[in-house]
């Protein structure tokens, strides 16, 4: 899943594409590099990012979706990274997006689950707590981070199932309401998320869990992202959400080769 951020302030500058020409160029490159999905976001959720109104988020996403369609047509499904039900309804219902990727897992907009149910589209259910401004203080997991995150996701999955939402992808939410050590504990135990019976999406691309540990900048974290992605695949990840698609595809191809029956 290749990332396109239609924002001025997403944490990794290389993912930003604000003009139509920039969006078209990035979409073309990501698809050429082997992206299976494109994920468009118009609201930065990094701590300290500026608030963005729903109208502005919609304006950015409409511009982005139109530009991507011109660039790559129907080559890949398009995901919209939003926590707002009204934005999801317009993006999927009116502008041709296929997937809703909700970093809040339905916790920031009470209407999101019903919106997704009405759209009959795939939904990425990510784990977090609080808001980007408060999540850093919400990292207490008495039962252990992996166990508690799985439990919280399972409760939200049950609600989605009651509403008839069948196509759900789960995202453990690396970097969201987790300490550095908790991120790695959860990554080491990623196979446990198989208990939820859903595909697992892992998004660690160039995040601070890599840069802080290694003492590098986000610009220098491509190799670390590829290595971590390969480990996530070994532990059961089904989708890698990344800034650098070419390197992620190489990780997938190497992992697939190792899983070939003649190599087992």
Contact predicate 163/113, CB 8 Å:
yes
CB atoms within 10 A of CB 70: 13
| CATH number for 162 | 3.20.20.20
Q: Which two tokens stand for residue 40?
A: 């468009």
Q: Which of 10-24, 26-40, 90-104, 119-133 has the lowest mean pLDDT?
A: 10-24
The total number of structural domains in the chain stands at: 1
In a domain, 53, yes or no: no
If you count DSSP H runs as helices and E runs as strands, how many of each does the chain have, helices first? 9, 8
32 in a structural domain: no
Question: Hey, which bits of 120-238 come out as E strands?
Answer: 123-126, 168-171, 201-202
Query: So what's the pLDDT on residue 122?
Result: 98
Please give the average per-residue pLDDT across 77-96, as a whole number. Answer: 97
pLDDT of res. 26: 95
* Mean pLDDT value of segment 32-47: 88
**Predicted confidence (pLDDT) at residue 261 exceeds the cutoff of 90:** no
| Assigned domain for 12 exists | no
Q: Is the pLDDT reported for residue 123 higher than 70?
A: yes
Q: Give percent above pLDDT 90 in the chain.
A: 87
Predicted confidence band of residue 47 (pLDDT cuts 50, 70, 90): low
pLDDT at 204: 97
Residue 227 lies in domain: 79-263
pLDDT for res 7: 79
The DSSP 8-state label assigned to residue 196 in this structure reads: G
Residues identified as active-site: 207, 241
């Amino acid at each position: 899943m290749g990332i396109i951020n239609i924002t001025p302030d997403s944490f990794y500058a290389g993912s930003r594409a604000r003009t139509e020409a920039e969006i078209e160029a990035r979409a073309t490159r990501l698809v050429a590099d082997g992206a299976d999905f494109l994920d468009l976001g118009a609201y930065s959720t990094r701590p300290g990012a500026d608030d963005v109104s729903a109208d502005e988020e919609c304006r950015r996403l409409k511009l982005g979706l139109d530009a991507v369609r011109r660039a790559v047509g129907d080559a890949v499904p398009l995901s919209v990274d939003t926590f707002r039900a009204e934005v999801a309804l317009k993006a999927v219902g009116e502008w041709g997006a296929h997937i809703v990727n909700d970093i809040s897992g339905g916790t920031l907009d009470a209407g999101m689950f019903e919106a997704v149910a009405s759209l009959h589209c795939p939904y990425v259910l990510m784990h977090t707590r609080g808001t980007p401004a408060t999540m850093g203080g919400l990292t207490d997991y008495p039962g252990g981070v992996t166990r508690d995150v799985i439990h919280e996701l399972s409760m939200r999955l049950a609600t989605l199932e009651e509403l008839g939402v069948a196509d759900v992808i789960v995202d453990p939410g690396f970097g969201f309401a987790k300490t550095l050590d908790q991120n790695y504990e959860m990554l080491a135990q990623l196979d446990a998320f198989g208990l939820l019976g859903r595909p697992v999406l892992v998004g660690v691309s160039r995040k601070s869990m890599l840069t802080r540990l290694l003492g590098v900048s986000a610009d220098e974290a491509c190799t670390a992202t590829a290595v971590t992605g390969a480990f996530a695949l070994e532990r059961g990840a089904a989708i890698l959400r990344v800034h650098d698609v070419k390197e992620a595809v190489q990780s997938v191809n190497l992992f697939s080769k190792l899983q070939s029956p003649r190599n087992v």
